């Protein structure tokens, strides 16, 4: 048989504030328990007197029953207590004249035990809750006593953003999708512009893919095995919830959630109810905050210890996403989704004011006379011209950062990435208009490219493309001669 005993907690030092008026509440170092509990524990022989003698002025009792801690209580004192043994010391006090009586759990009596098995109540008191019920469940059949608290959502204040003082948050928050051809430098732009100067803990990065879900993004409840082998269930926050918590805890800092390849996953499904938060306030104290709020029990509990809290994206948190335009056939982002973002096209050109980009642009393609920038321009022109009857062929172009300097020095890596892309994607429907017709497979083309050297490597292309390359190099040579003449 299980019997339940409850007693309201009243203390002026509480971590969690209940929405009830306090009247003449003074600080105390104990939880008062109902006298019916003491009588019942004695009736089932569950109490062992520790204090010697017969006086009832201040009596400590242990118990013959095992002690369990409830899930709500554990949520307050921390996961470190899950699976750990716990013990209890009850205190009976009364005046010498036999007047005022109390049956209590006293923090000082637990602390005096100097044993980890008693630490749970010390920590509970340090993080206690006012004006809510402390619960004791006595199971006489299994000889256990379970301690817990009733966290009834209705007694707590609804967290609003006016109370959180939104004006103290940085106004840096925005939703941006960077789009462009593969390798145009979208991730480079994220790193060097949006994440510049941020510490590691100020940003989270995630990659969307077809199997990525709302639970991966926001979080999910998963089982955990305790030290004693028992299973408990805990909400494990995803990257969205983690970065939200960081942003709320540090309103004077900038935070960024980076989503790579946003259209390779089903973005509307992954965002779910979070979709509602993408609209941002345009002015006022809440500028940069979500214009609308949602109620999400798991996020509310994780961020505010309140499942009914109203959730908004704070103004110091930005969401920056990247999207390859050539991947739109994976998952299309509908207009309703896109309108909640700033759409920023990343131009497929080198910024030669930056040494790193200038060096990459001017790196030779292996042992040929072509630098990467020239090779890219020639091939991209061919992609546009040879596929003129097809739509969206501009998305098939080679991006400026499609390769790195090391790849440009390795013929097998270059052919494995660049030539494979051109064969399988860039010129998929116009191979004979670009490549030498003697090649029937990518393998034959690659071996020819690797076995040759210098400009002979370009024999993989047909005569019209090689002519375009020669004309391009000749044009560069003539322009350089003119420049030299003007400078002499």
Cα 423 off chain centre by: 37
Residue 79 has phi, psi (to 5 degrees) of: -65, -20
Q: How many domains does the chain have?
A: 3
Is 96 within a domain? Answer: yes
Identify the H or E element spanning 186.
helix 186-189
Instruction: Examine the pLDDT at 15 and tell me if it is beyond 70.
Output: no
Q: In this predicted model, what pLDDT tens digit does every residue of 147-199 receive, in sequence order?
A: 988 765 444 443 344 345 677 899 999 999 999 888 888 998 999 999 999 99
Q: What is the pLDDT of residue 327?
A: 56
> Considering 345, 372, 397, which residue would you say is the last residue of a domain?
345
Of all residues in the chain, what percent carry a pLDDT higher than 90? 50
Identify the three-state secondary structure at position 72.
helix
Give the tens place of pLDDT for each residue, 280-303: 999 888 899 999 999 998 998 888
Least reliable range by pLDDT among 70-84, 281-295, 341-355? 70-84
In a domain, residue 441? The reply is yes
Q: Are residues 26 and 126 in the same domain?
A: yes
Asked if residue 149 and residue 86 are part of one domain, the reply reads yes
Which stretch of 38-42, 136-140, 177-181, 392-396 has the lowest confidence by average pLDDT? 392-396
Answer for the pair 107, 29: CB distance below 8 angstroms, yes or no. yes
pLDDT (0 to 100) of residue 133: 78
Cα separation of 116 and 114, whole Å? Answer: 7
Lowest mean pLDDT among 51-55, 224-228, 301-305, 314-318: 224-228
Q: Classify residue 180: in a domain, yes or no.
A: yes
Range of the domain at 105: 2-155
Q: Please give the average per-residue pLDDT across 220-232, as a whole number.
A: 78
Q: 337 and 219 in one domain?
A: yes
pLDDT, position 19: 37
Per-residue confidence (pLDDT) for residue 401, from 0 to 100: 92
Q: How far is CA 272 from CA 5, 269, 326, 334, 445, in A?
A: 41, 5, 25, 14, 46
Report the CATH number at residue 327.
3.40.50.300
Residue 164 is assigned to a structural domain of this protein: no
Going by C-alpha positions, the residue among 419, 395, 280, 288 that lies closest to residue 346 is: 395
Spatial separation of the C-alpha atoms in residues 32 and 43, rounded to whole Å: 20
- The verdict on 367 and 309 lying in the same domain is no
The top-scoring range by mean pLDDT among 10-24, 102-116, 297-311, 406-420 is: 406-420
Judgement on whether residues 334 and 369 belong to the same structural domain of the protein: no
Average pLDDT of the segment spanning 212-224: 91
Residue 16 pLDDT: 41
350 part of a folded domain: no
Lowest mean pLDDT, pick from 13-17, 94-98, 304-308:
13-17
In this structure, the answer to whether residues 233 and 324 fall within a common structural domain is yes
Rounded CA gap, 421 and 397, in Å?
Answer: 10
With a cut of 70, say whether residue 17 has pLDDT above it: no
**What's the length of the chain?**
488
Residues 184 and 286 occupy one common structural domain: yes
Query: Residues 181, 107: one domain?
Result: no
Residue 63 binned pLDDT confidence (cut-offs 50, 70, 90) = very high
Mean pLDDT check: name the lowest of 28-32, 296-300, 314-318, 381-385: 28-32
Rounded to two decimals, what is the model's pTM? Answer: 0.62
Q: Is the pLDDT of residue 352 over 60?
A: yes
Residue 387: per-residue pLDDT:
58
pLDDT at 97: 66
- Which of 286, 311, 345 delimits the end of a domain? 345
Are residues 69 and 142 both part of a single domain?
Answer: yes
Distance between CA 171 and CA 151 in Å, rounded? Answer: 35
Residue 84 has pLDDT above 80, yes or no: yes
Rounded to the nearest integer, the mean pLDDT of the chain is 84
Is the per-residue pLDDT at 461 higher than 90?
yes
Same domain, 324 and 408: no
Residues 340 and 221 in one domain: yes
Q: What is the CA radius of gyration of the chain?
A: 34
Look at residue 161 and tell me if it is in a domain: no
User: How does DSSP assign 305-366, residue by residue?
Assistant: S-TTPEE---TTEEEEEEEEGGGTTTS---HHHHTTSEEEE--SS--TTSHHHHHHHT-BST
* 193 and 339 fall within a common domain: yes
Q: Which of 100, 120, 155 is the last residue of a domain?
A: 155
Domain membership flag for residue 160: no
What pLDDT score was predicted for residue 29?
A: 67
| Predicted pLDDT of residue 18 | 38
Q: Is 448 domain-assigned?
A: yes
């Amino acid at each position: 048989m299980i019997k339940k005993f409850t007693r309201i907690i009243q203390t002026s030092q509480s971590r969690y504030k209940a929405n009830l008026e306090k009247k003449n509440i003074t600080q105390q170092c104990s939880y008062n328990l109902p006298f019916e509990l003491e009588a019942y524990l004695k009736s089932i022989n569950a109490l062992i007197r520790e204090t010697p003698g017969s006086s009832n002025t201040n009596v400590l009792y242990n118990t013959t029953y095992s002690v369990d801690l409830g899930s709500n209580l554990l949520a307050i004192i921390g996961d470190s207590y899950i699976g750990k043994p716990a013990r209890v010391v009850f205190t009976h006090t009364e005046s010498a004249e036999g007047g005022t009586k109390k049956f209590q759990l006293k923090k000082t009596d637990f602390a005096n035990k100097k044993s980890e098995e008693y630490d749970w109540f010390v920590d509970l008191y340090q993080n206690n809750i006012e004006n809510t019920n402390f619960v004791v469940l006595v199971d006489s059949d299994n000889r256990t006593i379970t301690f817990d608290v009733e966290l009834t959502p209705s007694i707590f204040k609804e967290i609003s953003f006016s109370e959180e003082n939104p004006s103290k948050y940085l106004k840096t928050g925005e939703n941006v999708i960077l789009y462009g051809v593969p390798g145009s430098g979208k991730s480079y732009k994220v790193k060097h512009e949006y994440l510049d100067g941020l510490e590691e803990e100020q940003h989270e990065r995630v990659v969307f893919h077809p199997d990525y879900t709302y639970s991966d993004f926001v979080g999910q409840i998963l089982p955990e095995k305790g030290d004693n082998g028992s299973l408990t269930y805990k909400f494990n926050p995803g990257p969205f919830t983690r970065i939200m918590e960081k942003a709320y805890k540090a309103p004077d800092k900038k935070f960024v959630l980076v989503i790579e390849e946003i259209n390779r996953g089903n973005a509307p499904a992954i965002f779910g109810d979070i979709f509602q938060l993408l609209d941002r306030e345009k002015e006022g104290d809440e500028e940069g905050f979500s214009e609308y709020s949602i109620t999400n029990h798991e996020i509310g509990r994780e961020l505010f210890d309140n499942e009914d809290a109203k959730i908004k994206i704070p103004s110091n948190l930005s969401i920056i996403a990247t999207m390859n335009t050539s991947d739109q056939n994976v998952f299309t982002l509908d207009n309703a989704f896109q309108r909640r973002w700033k759409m920023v096209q990343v131009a497929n050109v080198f910024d030669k004011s930056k040494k790193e980009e200038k060096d990459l642009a001017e790196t030779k393609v292996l042992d040929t006379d072509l630098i990467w920038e020239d090779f890219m321009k020639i091939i991209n022109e061919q992609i546009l011209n040879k596929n003129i009857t097809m739509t969206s062929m501009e998305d098939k172009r080679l991006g400026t950062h499609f390769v790195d300097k090391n790849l440009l020095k390795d013929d097998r890596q270059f052919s494995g990435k660049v030539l494979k892309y051109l064969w399988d994607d860039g010129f998929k429907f116009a191979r004979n208009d670009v490549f030498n017709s003697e090649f029937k497979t990518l393998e034959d083309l690659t071996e020819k490219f690797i076995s040759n050297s210098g400009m002979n490597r370009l024999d993989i292309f047909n005569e019209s493309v090689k002519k375009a390359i020669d004309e391009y190099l000749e044009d560069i040579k003539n322009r350089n001669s003119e420049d030299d003449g003007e400078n002499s």
